[in-house]
Amino acid sequence: MEIDPFIFRLSIFILSIFVGYYVVWSVTPSLHTPLMSVTNAISSVIIVGAIIAALSGNDGVVFSSSSIYGFLAIILAAVNIFGGFLVTQRMLAMYKKKKKDK
């Protein structure tokens, strides 16, 4: 009997939880705010689904009942992607070490 592809995805999911667990514990507490903003940005990869939804309209019909939700989701996810990565970058640029000349 063949293994359902769902099981493969489930495996990836479970392993990723463990990877996430160990990776996040190694994040220094002083960077917890950037951690939140960057996880925010990457979870917007949901835009992948939004794009598929938006381009699902039949020939010639750009805005169908289902694609409209896709377009709306694209806007939301895009705000998050740009906002999340840029604000993270802005924050991280502020973390500086003590100057050596002291």
Partner 1 sequence: MSANLSAILYLISGVLFILALRGLSSPETSRQGNLFGIIGMLIAVTVTFLSVGNFTTGFIFVLIFLAIGGSVGAFIAYRIPMTAMPELVAGFHSLVGLAAVFVAISAFINPVAFNLGTPGNIKLASLIEMAIGAAVGAITFSGSVIAFLKLQGIMSGAPITFKGQHLLNALLLILILILTFYLCSTQSSNLFWILIAVSFLIGFLIIIPIGGADMPVVISMLNSYSGWAAAGIGFTLENTALIITGALVGSSGAILSYIMCKGMNRSFFNVILGGFGATEQASGNQNKEQRPVKSGNADDAAFLMKNASSVIIVPGYGMAVAQAQHALREMVDTLKKNDIKVSYAIHPVAGRMPGHMNVLLAEANVPYDEVFELEEINNDFANADVAFVIGANDVTNPVAKTDPQSPIYGMPVLDVEKCKSVLFVKRSLSPGYAGIDNDLFYKENTLMLFADAKKMTEDITKNL
Q: How many CB atoms lie within 10 A of CB 90?
A: 11
In the set 1, 2, 3, 5, which binds partner 1 (CB under 8 A)? 5
Tokens of 93: 């640029």
The contacts found for 47-52 with CB under 8 angstroms, 24 or more apart, are: 47/73, 47/74, 47/77, 47/78, 47/81, 49/73, 50/74, 50/76, 50/77
Instruction: By CB under 8 A, tell whether 1 contacts partner 1.
Output: no
Q: Which C-beta is closer to partner 1: that of 1 or that of 99?
A: 99
In the set 1, 2, 3, 99, which binds partner 1 (CB under 8 A)? 99
Q: Which C-beta is closer to partner 1: that of 2 or that of 90?
A: 90
Site for partner 1 in 15-34 (CB under 8 A): 16-21, 23-34
* Contact characters 43-82, partner 1, x per CB under 8 A: xxxxxxxxxxxxxxx-x--x-xxxx-xxxxxxxxxxxxxx
